[in-house]
Amino acid sequence: MLVSLPAYTQEVYTTVELLDKNDATSVFYAEGRGYNENDALENARINVLRKIIYEGVEGFNDGKPLLHSTSSSERNDWLKNLFTGKVATYKNFLGDIELVGDFDRDGSTYICNANVMIKHRFLKRQIDMQVNGVSTNNTSTESPQQQPAPSHRWSVH
């Protein structure tokens, strides 16, 4: 089964804001759009990942993207297949998602705002090893399921 992402996921057209961060995970606020409610929520998650990987988010990683160079990403198979293929590996870096408010509609498009948890330590380690060519000193075999989650709920005021 191939994963097909809607055109909404090709570029990030929404604001992504950091809400909370600990050693292993971060929570971001983002908008998502899709053909149905599930697509809209998934798009919010993808928007966060694309923003922190390619553009950077204020307050996260000193506002810098996780990629050291965009030219290396164009030739890297791991990164090219991050959001596509039989097993879209981006899902390994996702945690919980919480809908903020209700879904809106713009014609046939569902629009949502959501708080999205990202397992940033695992994501950064994978990008450093697979794309940036950086060897990590941490030899732990930590999997994304072993990452601790924040001990509190988040909210947007």
pTM: 0.77
Q: Residue 128 in contact with residue 134, Cβ under 8 Å?
A: yes
pLDDT tens column, 72-83: 556 778 888 888
pLDDT tens column, 96-147: 999 999 999 999 999 999 999 999 999 999 998 888 777 655 544 344 444 4
Domain count, the chain: 1
Domain assignment present for residue 84? The answer is: yes
Q: Which residues, in sequence order, are bridge partners of residue 27?
A: 20, 117
Using alpha carbons, select from 24, 27, 82 the residue that is nearest to residue 57. Answer: 27
For 30, phi then psi, to 5°, come to -150, 160
Q: Residue 72 in contact with residue 54, Cβ under 8 Å?
A: no
Structural domain of 19: 12-134
